[in-house]
Structure 1
Amino acid sequence: MADSFDYVVVGAGLAGAATAWRLAERGHQVAVVERSEPANHEGSSHGSARIFRFAYAETAYAALVKESLAGWKELGRLARHSLITPTGCVDYGQVRKPRELAEVLASVGVAHEVLSPEEARSRWPQFAFDTVVLWHSGAGVIDAQETVHTMVRAAVGLGARVYEDWALAAARRSGAGYLLTNERGEELRAGRVVIAAGGWLPRLLGGLDLPSAFLASLPAFTVMQETAFHFPYREQPDPGTFWPAFIHKRHGIQTYGLPGRRDADYRGQKLAEFNGGRAIADASAQDGLIDPAHRERIVEYVKQYVPGLLPEPYAETTCLFTNTPDEEFVIDSADGVTVLSPCSGHGAKFAPLLGELAVDLATGAREVPLRFRPSLAGAGRQA
């Protein structure tokens, strides 16, 4: 007979692990099913380098980052060390609009500075800034993998069960709940289901027993195979010279970078182009191949804009972004199934808060922002 739970969470990345932790914390019987293992390299939550930042063009998102801080402190206590390494972040470029970002940070009470290109270059000579620069010291680098493992351990400690190598094939109605079947035909029963499958979501949607109107309301999910490159420091940083994270958006290319930390043997900076990769059908279509033309594009960028790095990548990898057309998160539900896709390349910083939001919606404890619920678009998807 199939094991039965109040909730089954599908996917043990940042969003799924956070949801399982918060569900177990509230006393529910929880299972997490993961097609591989938590924070695996075929998903979007592996590695030690994700940017934590407050700078958003919209006040609502910046405020949510502030709201997430309590959860990050809680996770730090559970891990017995901070999961965010402070680095600060510099934002610049015509498209990034640093002065407008500064107004948002001021509105939510986040400390920041706006610097001229000359002032910024005197502070960080390793960059060739081309516009005014927004600096906020509260930014940092998230250890995504350790965050997932910390949340999974916390959930298990509260009674949750983790099923690894359990690839969901379908979730069909059964009585008052759902019968979940994996690709080997094994089954679990759940009163309710949370789908946090990242780049696997597009292929799973057809196997969910959900109203056609709800499925039609969901945005198109585009899975991108992105490429990240690690460039060595020209000079190893000393106490007087440190490397912040950065986001540089100019016409023609939008890049970001951060200290590579464990992923890159602490030797250099991780750089990538936002949505510079290629679209694939879903996570199963990823091939891990690096486009030589894209590599050369980033090398040329480093030569021009980041003189503090040697323009010769010593490591490179691919990863997945699951994008919505408006880059909004999806936290929506119907008939006992919650679809959780905090995607478009900017969800990691919200991890502990995402679990709370998903659990509030799944349990009916509290509503989530309407902008995250496309099924209620008439009530204000952009509210």
Structure 2
Amino acid sequence: MTESSEYVVVGAGLAGAATAWQLASRGHDVTILERTVPASHDGSSHGSARIFRYAYPDEFYTRAVIESKALWDDLDRASGQALISPFGAVDYGPDRQPEVLARVLADAGVEHELLSAADARSRWPQFSFDTPVLWHPGAGVIDAESAVHAMAGQAVRHGARLLTGWDVTSVTKTSGGYRLASAGGKEITAGNVIISAGGWLPQLLGRLPVPAGFLAGLPEITVRQEQAYHFRYREFSGSVAAWPTFIHKSADIQTYGLPGGRDAGFAGQKVAEYNGGKFIPSAARQTGIVDPANRGRVVDYVKKYLPGLDPEPYAEATCLFTNTPNEDFLIDRAEGITVLSPCSGHGAKFAPLIGQWAADLATGTGGVPPRFRPATARIGAT
């Protein structure tokens, strides 16, 4: 007998788990289909270290972070966990425009300081700052893997079913909704489907029974195989708590870093070049092989700008970034199918809010910011 569900969520990463949590907590019949296991290590939501920050040049996103933080607090209370560790954040570099970020934070009422490079170096001698520095203490590090399990756990607590080892190969329209099939021959019918497949989304889009105009109206979705490296703290640089997260944007490279947490044995800082990896057709084509040229660029960067770190990486890994051209999220809907791509380069901090938006859209009980519905805007669908 084929299983059925009112709502089927495909993908148990941060966005999918958040959406399932929101739907189930509202009393809906929900099933989560996960290709392997929640927060899978070949996806975009594994590990213990994602940056949580308020600093954006676009005030829309800063205010969305404020809204998302309230939902993170709800999740902490419901799960009994502290999923964001406070470390603060420093933003600097000629192309990061810390003065602009400071104005946005001031308008949004977010605590911050704008420091000269000299004052910042005095406070954090483990950095070599090259411009004024924005500091905002409310930033921190999200434990992504624990967050996925917390949200999926809340969904299950509210009655959702979590099915693992369920690789969706087809979605077909039926008289009453949709039928989803797996590579192993399993089937489930759904009244509504939410596709939150991360780096696997590009290979699924063409298989969805949605109008051609809807697909044509979607932005290009690209997948990169990124690389991240862990560098040990030197003895003189103090405790892990002395290391904030950072984003540094210079003319030749954009980097970010954060305490690596258990991913790095709590011994070092995770440092990476933003969007420095190669494009791949989909997550299914990732190799897990680190590009030596990328490693060299990041090592050279650490030698120049992070004197508080040993410039020889003691651990390294690849991960996935799924992005739209302007880095806006994609939360759009055609008939009974919602397509969800939170753009893993900066989407983690918004996960509970993205889940709320997606649940509102899928149920028809609320709206989504129009900037995240490009196909609908183009074809005038509802």
SS in 1 for 2:368: coil
1:341 matched residue in structure 2: 341
**Cα 1:352–1:98 shift into 2, 3 Å:** same
Question: What letter is aligned with 1:95?
Answer: D
* Structure-1 separation of matches of 2:135 and 2:70: 23
1:81 matched residue in structure 2: 81
How far residue 239 of structure 1 moved from its aligned partner, in angstroms, is 6.0
* Structure-2 separation of matches of 1:297 and 1:356: 39
* Structure-2 separation of matches of 1:245 and 1:91: 9
* Structure-1 separation of matches of 2:229 and 2:212: 41
2:191 matched residue in structure 1: 191
Question: What letter is aligned with 2:282?
Answer: D
The answer (yes or no) to whether the contact 2:172–2:209 under 8 Å persists in 1 is yes
1:373 matched residue in structure 2: 373
**Cα 1:88–1:281 shift into 2, 3 Å:** same
1:151 matched residue in structure 2: 151
* Structure-1 separation of matches of 2:119 and 2:379: 46
* Structure-1 separation of matches of 2:134 and 2:351: 24
2:38 matched residue in structure 1: 38
1:206 matched residue in structure 2: 206
Question: Does 1:98 find its partner at 2:94?
Answer: no
Unaligned runs of 5+ in 2: none
The answer (yes or no) to whether the contact 1:370–1:379 under 8 Å persists in 2 is no
2:218 matched residue in structure 1: 218
Question: What letter is aligned with 2:184?
Answer: R
The answer (yes or no) to whether the contact 2:171–2:181 under 8 Å persists in 1 is yes
The answer (yes or no) to whether the contact 2:24–2:160 under 8 Å persists in 1 is yes
1:364 matched residue in structure 2: 364
How far residue 237 of structure 1 moved from its aligned partner, in angstroms, is 5.3
* Structure-2 separation of matches of 1:184 and 1:240: 46
Question: What letter is aligned with 1:314?
Answer: Y
SS in 2 for 1:207: coil
SS in 2 for 1:152: helix
SS in 1 for 2:242: coil
Question: What letter is aligned with 1:30?
Answer: V
* Structure-2 separation of matches of 1:59 and 1:258: 23
How far residue 206 of structure 1 moved from its aligned partner, in angstroms, is 1.2
**Cα 1:54–1:379 shift into 2, 3 Å:** farther
SS in 2 for 1:95: coil
Q: TM-score, normalising length from structure 2?
A: 0.97
How far residue 235 of structure 1 moved from its aligned partner, in angstroms, is 1.5
CA displacement, residues 289-327 of structure 1 (integer Å, 9 cap, x when unaligned): 011111111111000000000000000000000011111
* Structure-1 separation of matches of 2:60 and 2:293: 37
1:326 matched residue in structure 2: 326
How far residue 240 of structure 1 moved from its aligned partner, in angstroms, is 10
* Structure-2 separation of matches of 1:13 and 1:226: 17
SS in 1 for 2:206: helix
1:138 matched residue in structure 2: 138
CA displacement, residues 124-163 of structure 1 (integer Å, 9 cap, x when unaligned): 0000000000000000000000000001111111110011
* Structure-2 separation of matches of 1:241 and 1:50: 16
Question: What letter is aligned with 2:96?
Answer: R
The answer (yes or no) to whether the contact 1:99–1:114 under 8 Å persists in 2 is yes
Question: What letter is aligned with 1:372?
Answer: F
CA displacement, residues 229-263 of structure 1 (integer Å, 9 cap, x when unaligned): 00000117546970000000001100000000110
* Structure-2 separation of matches of 1:240 and 1:372: 37
The answer (yes or no) to whether the contact 2:236–2:308 under 8 Å persists in 1 is no
CA displacement, residues 328-383 of structure 1 (integer Å, 9 cap, x when unaligned): 10000001000010105000001111111000001000111000001133599xxx
SS in 1 for 2:310: coil
The answer (yes or no) to whether the contact 1:199–1:320 under 8 Å persists in 2 is yes
Query: RMSD between aligned alpha carbons?
Result: 1.3
How far residue 2 of structure 1 moved from its aligned partner, in angstroms, is 0.9
Question: What letter is aligned with 1:20?
Answer: A
1:129 matched residue in structure 2: 129
**Cα 1:263–1:344 shift into 2, 3 Å:** closer
CA displacement, residues 142-200 of structure 1 (integer Å, 9 cap, x when unaligned): 00000000011111111100110100011111112100011122100000000000000
* Structure-2 separation of matches of 1:126 and 1:78: 37
* Structure-2 separation of matches of 1:369 and 1:45: 24
* Structure-1 separation of matches of 2:101 and 2:229: 27
* Structure-2 separation of matches of 1:80 and 1:68: 18
How far residue 213 of structure 1 moved from its aligned partner, in angstroms, is 0.3
The answer (yes or no) to whether the contact 1:327–1:344 under 8 Å persists in 2 is no
The answer (yes or no) to whether the contact 1:124–1:241 under 8 Å persists in 2 is no
Q: How do 1:218-297 and structure 2 match up within 5 A? A: 218-235=218-235, 238=238, 242-297=242-297
Unaligned runs of 5+ in 1: none
CA displacement, residues 95-143 of structure 1 (integer Å, 9 cap, x when unaligned): 1000001111111110101000000000000000000000000000000
Question: What letter is aligned with 2:87?
Answer: T
**Which 10-residue stretch deviates more, 70-79 or 98-107?**
70-79
* Structure-2 separation of matches of 1:54 and 1:222: 25
* Structure-2 separation of matches of 1:241 and 1:140: 11
Q: How many residues align?
A: 380
**Cα 1:89–1:379 shift into 2, 3 Å:** farther
* Structure-2 separation of matches of 1:291 and 1:223: 16
* Structure-2 separation of matches of 1:75 and 1:323: 26
Q: TM-score, normalising length from structure 1?
A: 0.97
The answer (yes or no) to whether the contact 2:44–2:344 under 8 Å persists in 1 is no
